[in-house]
Structure 1
Amino acid sequence: MMNLIASASAVALILGAPLTVGLKQVQPKPAIAAPADAAAPLTAAERSKLLKEASKALATVKTARGKFEQYSPDGTLSTGQFAMSRPGKVRFDYDDPTPLLLVSDGTTVALQDSELETTDRVPLAQTPLSLLLSDKLDFEKQAEVIDVRRTGDRTNITVRDKSGEMDGTLTVILAGADNTLSGWRTVDASGGRTSVLLSGVETGAKLNPRLFILRDFDNR
């Protein structure tokens, strides 16, 4: 379901392999840091209730758009705009000078580099995005849940590949009583962390379907 470690460059970008083009060297913001260990442990009933509420809240959002910040394992920062249409479709349009565009059309995730004029593709099902973009998202059924924490108004749900074939984890970060998706964090097999922070999110927006179509350079 979720191939959290893969060599294809599109997946590497999603998982936070360091980008080397047009990035700023910064330290990740504490807004998406790991929650404090002092958070009270959840009972089994509380954990199950929270997972169901979070799954329902995320699945209810059919479209969204806004801005994102991505922090790679080496601390570099890239920014841009995103658009999402459930199920399976998303677009990450990176700001200059990063010449990258990432698009999922519901089946395939494509990463395009406008400087190199290359487009790399990988099945959506082999990326963490397959869970986040699922039409009937259910954390307990679709992934192995390894940690659930509630700290203040923030909920962190950490999952990994249910098949156990791949290393790595995905932490989904939700904010507020309505469990709004505020970002996520991935940890690869070597311990490298990548964080994505969303801001200015507008839900329920009418999006042009063409946003989620990405053609190869030689097919334009």
Structure 2
Amino acid sequence: MNTILKTLRTPVLAASALALAATGLSVLPTPATAQSATDRAQIDTAVGALRAISSMRADFVQTDRNGQRVGGVMTLKRPGKIRFQYQKGVPFLIVADGSSLTMIDYEVRQVQRWPIRNSPLGALLDPNKDVARFARLNPTANPSVLSIDVKDPRHPEYGTITLIMVRKASAPGGWELDSWVALDSQAKRTTVRLTNHQYGIAVPDNTFRFNDPRTQNRRAG
């Protein structure tokens, strides 16, 4: 468990959370020198499918570069709201409430927060940002699979997110977010896979609130 918690406390996890909150994406033309028209069209298709999600719940399994795995439930609501509820016994929570991304470590009573506009790969949370200009399509051997790298060249410290989407008729926009890989600037890799997707579910806004362990600590004192 200590190894898992150490992994959860690395910055690459924050980038992962930002990637999954991509339902607030805004699409503008990618520079012609960076992508072909066909590639841009496929990126627009993927982004359109993500934006078509009003709400979603899915199980997730997160794997670090050493093969350590931890699971939980992800709940998402457009725009910019997301919650990673980790499995029982893992005292860690990630919540984005539409304005800030917060990582809560209940074991050490620590809270880290980033304004969405200033977060790593913040274009993936802010509907006013243009993520398409940070995206590049990767070739795949399967026409029913899309692989898209997202990286801000002005901020290499944010790392790279690779989104994997698969064609699925029942998913919004006809494509489903299957998994993603976050690679930080120190080449630390985290892979997250989703299963049991549920779309269009009722999600109350208080889902994206949390108990602040720092307040609990002050009261205890």
Q: TM-score range by the shorter chain?
A: 0.7 to 0.9
- Taking the aligned partners of 1:121 and 1:216, their CA distance within structure 2 comes to 12
Deviation of 1:63 (Å): 0.7
Structure with the higher helix share, 1 or 2: 2
Letter in 2 for 1:156: S
Change in 2 beyond 3 A, CA 1:121/1:167: closer
RMSD: 2.5
Deviation of 1:183 (Å): 1.6
Corresponding residue for residue 159 of structure 1: 150
Report percent identity of matched pairs: 25
Corresponding residue for residue 48 of structure 1: 40
Alignment partner of 2:185: what SS?
A: coil
CA deviations on 1:92-135 (whole Å, 9 max, x unpaired) are 0000221111111112111222222322222233134x444454
1:14 aligns with 2:14: yes
* 50, 56, 66: which one aligns with 1:64: 56
Corresponding residue for residue 25 of structure 1: none
> Which aligned segments of 4 or more residues in structure 1 are displaced greater than 6 angstroms?
none
* 115, 119, 127: which one aligns with 2:120: 127
Consecutive unaligned residues in structure 2, runs of 5 or more: 1-8, 17-34, 169-173, 217-221
- Taking the aligned partners of 2:109 and 2:184, their CA distance within structure 1 comes to 28
Consecutive unaligned residues in structure 1, runs of 5 or more: 1-8, 17-42
Contact preservation (8 Å) 1:11, 1:122: no
Corresponding residue for residue 201 of structure 1: 197
* 82, 87, 98: which one aligns with 1:95: 87
Contact preservation (8 Å) 1:86, 1:135: no
Deviation of 1:164 (Å): 4.2
Deviation of 1:169 (Å): 1.1
Contact preservation (8 Å) 2:63, 2:192: yes
